[in-house]
Each structure stands twice: as structure tokens, then as C-alpha cells.
Amino acid sequence: MEEQKLNLTAEWDKTFPESEKVVHTKVTFHNRYGITLAADMYRPKGAEGKLAAVAVAGPFGAVKEQAAGLYAQTLAERGFLTIAFDPSFIGESGGEPRNVASPDINTEDFCAAVDFLSVREDVDPDRIGILGICGWGGMALNAAAIDTRIKATVSSTMYDMSRVTARGYFDSMDENARYRLREQLNAQRTEDYRSGNYALAGGVPDSVPEDAPFFVKDYFAYYKTKRGYHPRSLNSNGGWNVTSALSFLNMPLLTYAGEIRSAVLVIHGEKAHSCYFSRDAFAKLRGDNKKLLIIPGAVHTDLYDNPDVIPFNAIAEFFGTYLK
């Protein structure tokens, strides 16, 4: 199929420094819904032959120039061919309307990345893994449950977006609260259709009060400061479409996680507000090729960009073992 021509940035515009150990190029590929996706490819300098490959995405509301790119570049330094991609409807990727998320299409984005990697001359199609950060950790596990070509999956500081949308944090929403949310979102659909535009939910706030929950301050410190701000990041700016939440209310992402036969490494920070997502997801997994790695003292966004906290050695060893 003919891919959409995307407007890709030529200059280095990442939130992390460029490595001299890898070759960086921009690439595009398409998913089964005809959406063209943009990605940064990182290839180890001097590498020859067919390599093991890893596709990376996340966090939820971020772009490939943020945490996903850091993970991808670092794994390329360890010998893997990697791509960090913008999922459908965000960043440099195609798809209309903008700033919308979908449990189905965004899971498909990972599978489409596997399509792209599988047919490259420099990739061994039997040695492909995926890595999802935050909300894309849940998408990655969902992709691993459906795509048998994926031989190893890592989720880092994972959010189960369907669970948090339908049940709230720590499962605090009941059926009545869920119904009120449906009413609000469907009323917003009517307004969006009337206006011809999709209202945005707003990204991370420009300032946070002293009494804000810690994890809100945590997100602010990443998305709204020089540390992690990016002009194309949804969380750094206007946020997702309000009505993005609708599809997550009805479609639990991890329904078939227990049927994943390939290897899975689940990583989370011990002090992260979101740690229960990973602990509960891991409890669904079966087999001796599954591992839960809890990082002592780490909070949610430590696993976005803190090289002293992200267990890159363990991740590289895991992919090295299962992408032999």
C-alpha cells in the first residue's frame, strides 16, 4: 500500500543527547488501518548481518523524542536494531483526528512495527521484541497476547489504561461513577460533532499546588520542565481528546495476558503510585519465562529517563537471552 507522506523533522530534537555509538535515521511504516507511522531507527555502528530488533513506544501522552527514544538508543548501544515510534494520531505519525488513543489501533501499532522489522534485510525476523513504557506497557502486553512473532516483551512503569479509565486510580470508581463518566463523554461527543473540533482534556498542568498528589508533581517535573518537555508531546501541551477515554471503558486490554507464551519482563518502581498495575498484570502471566523486576525506591517517572534507575543491563540481558 502507498504510505502517506509525513513531515519528518531532520534535526536532532530529542530530550536526550545523541549517541556516537549508533546510527540514527528516520523511517516510516504503516499499520493495517492504513495509518502511516513515523519512527526513529537506531542501529549499532559497524553492525553487520541480521540483528535482533526491538520496537519501543510510550509513555502514554509522550512522543518518540522522549523516553521511548532514550530506551531505543540505549538498547542500540547494546547491539540491538531498534525503533522508537509515534503511535497513530500523535507526534509525527499520521491519522485523523489528532490526539486520540485506541486500545485496538494502538495495539496494532506494535504489530505493525513488527511487520516493518520482519521484512528488513538487516533484521532476523525470528528475533524481534517490543518494549512499552507507561500506558504503552499495557498495549505491549496486549500485542504479545495476539502476535506470536513477538518473542520477548518488556513493560516498564506500566499503566493498564483500560483499568484506570474504567475504574479510576486504585479501582475507586463504582458502576454509578462509570455511568456518570459515560454520560459526560457522550455529551462531549455531541458537542464535538456540533463544533467540528475535538475538545482536548489538557495535558499536565502548567503549575501544581503544594498539596497536589505526588504523582502529579512527578509528571510536572518530567513533562513541563527542560528535563522532558517536547513541543509535540500531548502531556507537555494540550493533552488527549476528551473522548479518547470512551473506547478504553469497554475494552479491557489484558484479557488474554495469561495466554502469552513468549517471554515477558515486567519492570516497575517500588514507590510508584502505579506499581499495582504491574504487580496485578504479572499475576496473570504464566510460565517460567516471565519475570517481575521491582526497582527499590523508584517512582513512576524515574523509569522514563533516569539512567541510574532504569535497569538497562537487565533489559539488554533479557532481550539477549530470548532474542538469541
pLDDT tens by residue, the chain, 324 residues: 888 999 999 999 999 999 999 999 999 999 999 999 999 999 999 999 999 999 999 999 999 999 999 999 999 999 999 999 999 999 999 999 999 999 999 999 999 999 999 999 999 999 999 999 999 999 999 999 999 999 999 999 999 999 999 999 999 999 999 999 999 999 999 999 999 999 999 999 999 999 999 999 999 999 999 999 999 999 999 999 999 999 999 999 999 999 999 999 999 999 999 999 999 999 999 999 999 999 999 999 999 999 999 999 999 999 999 999
Distance between CA 162 and CA 280 in Å, rounded? 14
DSSP characters over 239-292: -SBGGGHHHHHH--TTTTGGG--SEEEEEEETT-TTHHHHHHHHHH--STTEEE
The DSSP symbol for 19 reads: P
CA distance 158 to 135: 6
User: For residues 142 and 107, is the Cβ–Cβ distance under 8 A?
Assistant: yes
* Alpha carbon distance 70, 67 (integer Å): 5
Q: How far apart are CA 82 and CA 68, in angstroms?
A: 10
pLDDT score at 1: 80
User: Could you say which DSSP state residue 163 is in?
Assistant: H
The pTM (predicted TM-score) of the whole model is 0.98
In the chain, the domains with their CATH numbers are: 22-171+251-322 (3.40.50.1820)
φ, ψ of residue 187 to 5 degrees: the values are -65, -40
C-alpha cell at 151: 518473542
Count of residues in the chain: 324
Beta-carbon contacts of 260 under 8 Å, excluding residues fewer than 6 positions away, are 141, 144, 145, 153, 285, 287, 290
Phi-psi region of 229 (alpha: psi -120 to 50; beta: other; left: phi over 0): beta
Q: State whether residue 26 is helix, strand or coil.
A: strand
Q: Can you give the pLDDT at residue 2?
A: 83
pLDDT of residue 194: 98
Q: Which amino acid is at 254?
A: L
CB 295 within 8 A of CB 309: yes
Q: Are 158 and 276 in contact (CB under 8 A)?
A: no
Secondary structure string (H, E, C) spanning 281-311: HHHHCCCCCEEEEEECCCCCCHHHHCCCCCC
Grid look-up 531505543 returns 72
Q: Which of 113, 117, 131 is nearest to 50 (CA)?
A: 117
